[in-house]
């Protein structure tokens, strides 16, 4: 019997390694060692799972152990604090110091706890108890912080790391949900996405009530829906949804909650889509996601990326922006807003907000800035929740998703409206008639029906019309980040429009995104345009230079597939990601390259060298200040970074070389024809 249990445990650990550590958390398989005796360090007692900075080849014991970042004891099918779990605690307390680690992990292959080896207390991450395996970045961070302070139980990270941590763990849970969903006949993936987000929101509502101190113990909540009987869970959830729709401010998310209620309980027209056992399983998986407060990422976006088909991604593409772009551009735009000042409150609008990616990231950036500066007072929280954020989108369903996305990230969902920003006629009319300190948006591109509000050209191009609208929305001195296609910056017919932008605004930065930045949604070459509105009394072109930068690698393959490359250098920095922050091998949190280089980097004297994803050395210019006189002297007022940083030099051949090449081609064609005949 014991032998059978041992085999089952080995199978569970093997699945944990392959399906979670490797597949979900992207830890290289050869850096993980399972059930191997390192007698020099732990005697005859084998650690169950070890994770190191180095691959293990069977001979490099010392190198592997000296660079360990994590060690776990695995006890399959035990319960927290039962005899087997307590045995694992004793093993961890004994082995971790011998392995040079200040902490260890205990798991039953379903639930996972992290322990400080000195205090034997559970570790928390950003205020939340750790209940899942983490990315290798976080193991480094924990090891580094506990090595410096062995009594530390609460690990805190910056906002970039929060996003990395939370989303990796959340994706593992989505992967579990995907297994359940295989047996459910959803109408389409949009229904699947809304069902998932709605179900998650039901859990989050209780968390938010607890945080706000408004939870009423006499009423039904998420936690009170649980039951051993599957049918009761379904009935409880249905009742919980009805209560939220009738009694709370959460009623504004009724359309999403109704997707959940009808799917689990049916209505007059539809039978239940999901049977009671699957409802119980889905409830259990989502319950294990908590706490969701402070997750630090676009929840709708994560669900969407997991479940949307390629076709749906293309359909969604006109308003969906990848999360690592929304994060870094929000961070760069709001860099000066590091301290909350009650006398200098400001507002941010996205006039084409889609599902709210830019707004959720802006919320997180400001929240993190205020925390770091010690100015996150109750007044600051109220400002972020009720007075800072505004969003408009032409589609009603997008506004519902934006509100929910904002609610899940913290709040700030109050001022989200459905309307056409280029020709408002409904709720957004008042919102779009005022001025803002910040605008951040990825507007739709292509031919539209509304003429752009500019006298210098006549066009119905939507991207031009939205740039005009953004400039109109800004107050004097206000700043904007606009994602725009290349035509706006280089098309000769838009020469006068570019001159108008340079007269009305200070164009202080233009960032070139990789060709496939938004694939498969669109393959349009895009740029991030950063502008600051000038006074209307100033009509001459700006005299300040424009900082331009080319992103060659954003952490995803430069192809339609867009899979993560994940390659690192010997300090653990990203080799093919200029956007994301990272944690060094010393456990120190580092900013991404773009943030580090922002507005200061200039390689005009020495070009930059890097290794591309094919392993080939590249030496090219990447960024620098372009003197405004160069732009003014260009016939077309071109604003394309590549035009100035990587000008194309055509290779001309002589007439004799041309004739020789023609003769070579003619000879080759005659040879082929002779062979055929």
Q: Is the pLDDT of residue 419 over 80?
A: yes
Report the C-alpha gap between 135 and 458 in whole angstroms. 52
Q: Is the pLDDT of residue 649 over 70?
A: no
Q: Strands 154-155 and 526-533, how do they pair?
A: unpaired
Average pLDDT, rounded, for the chain: 86
* Eight-state DSSP code of residue 183: T
Average pLDDT over residues 569-580: 69
Instruction: Tell me the CA distances in angstroms from 582 to 103, 364, 489, 494, 572, one per residue in order.
Output: 21, 18, 32, 40, 8
Report the C-alpha gap between 232 and 285 in whole angstroms. 17
Residues 140 and 41 in one domain: yes
530 in a domain, yes or no?
A: no
Domain extent, residue 197, equals 169-287
Q: Is the pLDDT of residue 6 over 60?
A: no
Cβ distance 102 to 85 under 8 Å?
no
Give the pLDDT score at 297. 59
Q: Is the pLDDT of residue 146 over 80?
A: yes
Residues 28 and 64 in one domain: yes
Quickly tell me which residue has 């990447």 as its tokens. Answer: 622
Nearest to 352 by CA among 518, 481, 511, 526: 481
Average pLDDT over residues 231-256: 87
Report the C-alpha gap between 626 and 548 in whole angstroms. 7
Give the pLDDT score at 165. 47
Q: Pick the last residue of a domain from 222, 257, 287.
A: 287
Average pLDDT over residues 18-41: 84
Residues 45 and 183 in one domain: no
Residues 28 and 128 in one domain: yes
Nearest to 419 by CA among 350, 326, 488, 474: 350
Give the pLDDT score at 274. 94
Sequence-ordered list of residues with C-beta below 8 angstroms from that of 619, at least 6 positions apart, any chain: 607, 608, 609
Give the pLDDT score at 52. 94
Report the C-alpha gap between 348 and 437 in whole angstroms. 6
- Backbone φ, ψ for residue 439 (5° rounding): -130, 135
Q: Is 297 helix (H, G, I), strand (E, B) or coil?
A: coil
Alpha helices in 149-248 (DSSP H): 159-181, 189-212, 230-247
* Structural domains counted in the chain: 2
Report the C-alpha gap between 204 and 567 in whole angstroms. 35
Residues 131 and 33 in one domain: yes
Q: Is the pLDDT of residue 47 over 50?
A: yes
**In the structure encoding, which two tokens stand for residue 224, read together?**
């009170």
Cβ distance 233 to 279 under 8 Å?
yes
| Local confidence band at 488 (pLDDT 50, 70, 90 cut-offs) | very high
Residues 234 and 279 in one domain: yes
Report the C-alpha gap between 59 and 247 in whole angstroms. 65
DSSP-assigned letters across all residues of 37-78: --HHHHTTPPPSEEEESS---SS-HHHHHHTEEEEEEE-TT-
Residues 32 and 60 in one domain: yes
Alpha helices in 297-409 (DSSP H): 299-307, 310-316, 323-333, 357-373, 378-386, 396-409
Task: Assign residue 320 a region (left: φ > 0; alpha: ψ between -120 and 50; beta: otherwise).
Answer: beta
Dihedral sign for Cα atoms in the order 592, 596, 597, 599:
positive
Q: Within 10 A of 595 (CB to CB), how many other CB atoms are there?
A: 17
Give the pLDDT score at 626. 97
Average pLDDT over residues 290-307: 69
Report the C-alpha gap between 457 and 66 in whole angstroms. 66
659 in a domain, yes or no?
A: no
Give the pLDDT score at 652. 62
264 in a domain, yes or no?
A: yes
Instruction: Tell me the CA distances in angstroms from 267 to 183, 196, 238, 491, one per residue in order.
Output: 21, 19, 11, 54
Give the pLDDT score at 526. 94
| Local confidence band at 312 (pLDDT 50, 70, 90 cut-offs) | low
352 in a domain, yes or no?
A: no
**In the structure encoding, which two tokens stand for residue 334, read together?**
């709001």
576 in a domain, yes or no?
A: no
Residues 104 and 136 in one domain: yes
Report the C-alpha gap between 194 and 460 in whole angstroms. 34
Give the pLDDT score at 676. 78
Q: How far is CA 33 from the centre of its chain?
A: 30
317 in a domain, yes or no?
A: no
435 in a domain, yes or no?
A: no
Residues 150 and 21 in one domain: yes
| Local confidence band at 516 (pLDDT 50, 70, 90 cut-offs) | confident
Residue 22 buriedness (CB in 10 A; 0-12 / 13-18 / 19+) = middle
Q: Is the pLDDT of residue 311 over 70?
A: no
Q: Is the pLDDT of residue 328 over 60?
A: yes
Report the C-alpha gap between 31 and 22 in whole angstroms. 10
Report the C-alpha gap between 222 and 215 in whole angstroms. 11
**In the structure encoding, which two tokens stand for residue 209, read together?**
């009530």
Report the C-alpha gap between 50 and 15 in whole angstroms. 15
Give the pLDDT score at 643. 96
Lowest mean pLDDT among 261-270, 347-356, 649-658: 649-658
Report the C-alpha gap between 219 and 215 in whole angstroms. 8
Reported as half-sphere exposure (CB side, CA atoms, 13 A), residue 531 has a value of 29
Give the pLDDT score at 89. 95
Rg (CA), the chain: 28
Residues 193 and 282 in one domain: yes
Report the C-alpha gap between 295 and 576 in whole angstroms. 25
Q: Pick the last residue of a domain from 221, 254, 287.
A: 287
Q: Pick the last residue of a domain from 156, 187, 212.
A: 156
Instruction: Tell me the CA distances in angstroms from 484 to 460, 472, 498, 595, one per residue in order.
Output: 15, 17, 13, 20
Q: Give 520-534 as a 3 state SS string.
A: CCCCCCEEEEEEEEC
pLDDT in tens, 150-172: 999 998 776 455 444 456 667 77
Cβ distance 480 to 530 under 8 Å?
yes
| Local confidence band at 494 (pLDDT 50, 70, 90 cut-offs) | very high
Report the C-alpha gap between 107 and 70 in whole angstroms. 13
Q: Is the pLDDT of residue 369 over 80?
A: yes
pLDDT in tens, 101-141: 999 999 988 889 999 999 999 998 877 788 888 888 889 88
Q: How far is CA 584 from the centre of its chain?
A: 20
Give the pLDDT score at 417. 92
Residues 144 and 196 in one domain: no
Count H helices and E strands in the chain, helices first. Answer: 24, 21
**In the structure encoding, which two tokens stand for residue 671, read together?**
């040879």
Q: Is the pLDDT of residue 4 over 60?
A: no
- Count of residues making up the chain: 677
Residues 56 and 201 in one domain: no
Average pLDDT over residues 203-217: 84
Express as a percent the part of the chain with pLDDT over 70: 90
pTM: 0.78
60 in a domain, yes or no?
A: yes
Q: Is the pLDDT of residue 338 over 70?
A: yes
Give the pLDDT score at 616. 83
Give the pLDDT score at 441. 97
Give the pLDDT score at 158. 66
> Residue 17 maps to which CATH number?
3.90.1570.30
Q: Is the pLDDT of residue 461 over 60?
A: yes
Report the C-alpha gap between 460 and 246 in whole angstroms. 45
């Amino acid at each position: 019997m014991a032998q059978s249990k041992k085999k089952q445990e080995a199978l569970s650990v093997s699945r944990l390694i392959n399906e979670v550590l490797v597949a979900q958390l992207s830890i290289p398989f050869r850096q993980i060692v399972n059930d191997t005796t390192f007698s020099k360090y732990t005697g005859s007692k084998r650690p169950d799972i070890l994770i190191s900075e180095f691959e293990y080849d069977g001979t490099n014991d010392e190198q592997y152990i000296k660079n360990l970042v994590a060690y776990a004891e695995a006890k399959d099918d035990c319960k927290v604090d039962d005899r087997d779990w307590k045995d694992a605690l004793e093993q961890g307390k004994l082995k971790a110091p011998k392995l040079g680690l200040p902490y260890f992990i205990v798991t039953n292959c379903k639930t996972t706890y992290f322990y400080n080896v000195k205090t034997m207390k559970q570790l928390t991450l950003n205020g939340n108890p750790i209940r899942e395996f983490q990315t290798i970045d976080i193991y480094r961070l924990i090891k580094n912080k506990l090595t410096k302070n062995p009594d530390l139980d609460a690990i805190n990270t910056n906002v970039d790391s929060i996003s990395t941590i939370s989303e990796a763990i959340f994706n593992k849970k989505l992967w579990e949900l995907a297994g359940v969903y295989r047996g459910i006949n959803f109408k389409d993936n949009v229904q699947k996405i809304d069902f998932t987000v709605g179900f998650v929101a039901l859990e989050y509502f209780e968390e938010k009530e607890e945080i706000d101190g408004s939870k009423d113990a006499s009423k039904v909540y998420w936690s009170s829906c649980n039951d051993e009987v599957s049918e009761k869970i379904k009935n409880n959830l249905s009742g919980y949804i009805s209560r939220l729709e009738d009694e709370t401010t959460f009623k504004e998310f009724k359309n999403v909650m109704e997707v959940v209620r009808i799917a689990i309980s049916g209505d007059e027209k539809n039978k239940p889509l999901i049977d009671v056992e699957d409802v119980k399983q889905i409830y259990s998986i989502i319950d294990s996601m908590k706490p969701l407060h402070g997750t630090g990422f676009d929840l709708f976006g994560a669900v969407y990326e997991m479940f949307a088909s390629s076709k749906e991604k293309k359909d969604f593409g006109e308003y969906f922006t990848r999360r690592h772009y929304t994060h870094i551009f929000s961070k760069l735009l709001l860099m000066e807003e590091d301290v909350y000042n009650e006398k200098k409150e400001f507002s941010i609008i996205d006039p084409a907000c889609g599902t709210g990616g830019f707004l959720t990231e802006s919320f997180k950036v400001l929240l993190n800035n205020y925390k770091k500066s010690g100015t996150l007072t109750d007044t600051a929280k109220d400002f972020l929740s009720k007075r800072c954020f505004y969003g408009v989108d032409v589609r009603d369903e997008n506004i519902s998703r934006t509100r929910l996305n904002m609610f899940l990230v913290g709040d700030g969902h109050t001022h989200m409206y459905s309307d056409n920003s280029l020709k408002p006629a409904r709720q957004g009319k008042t919102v779009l008639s005022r001025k803002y300190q910040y605008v951040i948006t990825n507007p739709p591109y292509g031919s539209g029906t509304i003429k752009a509000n500019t006298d210098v050209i006549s066009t119905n191009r939507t991207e031009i019309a939205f740039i005009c609208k953004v400039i109109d929305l800004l107050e004097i001195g206000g700043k904007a980040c606009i994602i725009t296609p290349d035509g706006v910056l280089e098309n000769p017919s838009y020469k006068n429009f570019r001159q108008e932008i340079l007269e009305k605004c200070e164009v202080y930065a233009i960032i070139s995104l990789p060709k496939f930045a938004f694939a498969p949604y669109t393959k349009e070459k895009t740029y991030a345009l950063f502008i600051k509105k000038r006074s209307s009394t100033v009509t001459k072109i700006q005299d300040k230079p424009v900082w331009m930068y080319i992103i060659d690698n954003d952490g995803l393959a430069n192809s339609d597939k867009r899979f993560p490359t994940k390659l690192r250098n010997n300090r653990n920095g990203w080799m093919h990601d200029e956007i994301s922050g990272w944690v060094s091998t010393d456990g120190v949190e580092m900013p991404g390259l773009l943030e580090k280089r922002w507005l200061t980097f200039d390689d005009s004297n020495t070009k930059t060298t890097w290794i591309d994803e094919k392993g080939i050395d590249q030496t090219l210019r990447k960024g620098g200040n372009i003197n405004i006189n160069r732009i003014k002297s260009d016939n077309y007022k071109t604003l394309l970074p590549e035009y100035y940083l990587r000008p194309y030099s055509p290779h001309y051949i002589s007439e004799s070389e041309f004739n020789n090449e023609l003769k070579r081609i003619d000879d080759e064609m005659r040879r082929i024809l002779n062979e055929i005949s």
